[in-house]
Homo-oligomer: A and B are copies of this chain.
Amino acid sequence: MKALVLSSGGADSTVCVALAVEKLGRENVATVSFEYGQKHDRELICAQKIADFYSLKHFVLSLENILKFSDCSLLKNSTQAIEHKSYADQIAEKGEGKVSTYVPFRNGLMLSSAAALAQSIYPEEDCEIWIGAHADDAAGQAYADCSSEFTQAMNQAISIGTYGLVKLAAPLVKFNKARVIKEGLRLKVPFELTWSCYEGHEKACGKCGTCIDRLNAFEENGVKDPIPYEE
């Protein structure tokens, strides 16, 4: 059994990498990151560092062409700035889910691309695609493509479309972010190498949705987040 872990260089997907290595051994694990036209490349640099840390083969695929018509605030061609609010506050303000950092069907694109990659590099072998989606990202429909209903449906589609060879694993999908960090602490994940912030500054901004979630999650574990934040 092989595993291909979606690695964004962030905390959640790095916990996923560590779990896959624990379960299957590093010789059976590879990581894959995506260029999708994001405003900065810090997450791609971190994903490479994580792969190096665990001595894993690392792939980079580009979705930039597919997303060229999107105005999502995470993309460099967007007219929108990144909001400095928690997801919960953004949803409360708009009265509905779908935050401005929702990249159109991104998880569907990444999972489909990883399935195609798995069938390309391991055409005859069983392979699991691991994704670090967790419950807080799906809460209030902030990101509809992070829910367990979504990963279950994608698992079904990918399994059928690859002759049963490729399946999904979403080990964190029922966890909140604090529980994800707890799992990472158990696994001695090198959180100092990860990057979550939506901004691409020298230090993490501490104010965007994902920074707020990350800081709270470390605090709930009584541990200081090892990456530097702006004052």
Q: Is A40 an interface residue (CB 8 A)?
A: no
**Considering the complex, which residues of chain A in the window 82-136 have a beta carbon less than 8 Å from any beta carbon of chain B?**
97-98, 104-109, 111-113, 115-121, 123
Is the CB–CB distance between B104 and A120 below 8 Å? yes
Distance A10 CA – B123 CA, assembled complex (angstroms): 27
Complex partner residue of A160 from B71, B153, B161, B162, CB under 8 angstroms = B153
Contacts of A66 on B, CB cut-off 8 Å? 61-63, 113, 116-117
Query: Could you say which residues of chain B place their CB within 8 Å of the CB of A118?
Result: 104
Q: What 0/1 pattern do residues 22 to 63 of A give for CB contact below 8 A with B?
A: 000000000000000000000000000000000000010111
Residues of B within 8 A of A150 (CB): 157, 160-161
Q: Per DSSP, are chain A's interface residues mostly helix, strand or loop, or mixed?
A: helix
- A62, closest chain B residue (CB): B65
Is A220 on the interface with B (CB-CB < 8 A)? no
Chain A residues within 8 Å of chain B by Cβ, number = 45
- B-side contacts of A21, CB under 8 Å: none
Whether the Cβ atoms of B98 and A105 lie closer than 8 Å is no
Residues in B whose Cβ lies below 8 Å from that of A157: 108, 150, 153-154, 156-157
Does A158 lie at the interface of the complex (its beta carbon under 8 Å from any beta carbon of B)?
Answer: yes
Known: A153-B153, A156-B153, A156-B156. A107 touches B161 (CB 8 A): yes
Please state if B158 and A69 are interface contacts (CB–CB under 8 Å).
Answer: no
Contacts of A106 in B (CB 8 A): 116
Can you give 21 contacting A-B residue pairs, CB < 8 Å?
A61-B65, A61-B66, A62-B65, A63-B66, A66-B116, A67-B116, A70-B119, A104-B118, A104-B123, A105-B112, A105-B119, A105-B161, A106-B116, A108-B115, A108-B116, A108-B161, A144-B161, A149-B160, A150-B157, A154-B161, A157-B157
Task: In the A-B complex, list the 8 residue pairs whose CB atoms are closest, starting with the nearest.
Answer: A104-B119, A153-B157, A145-B161, A153-B156, A69-B120, A70-B120, A112-B112, A105-B116
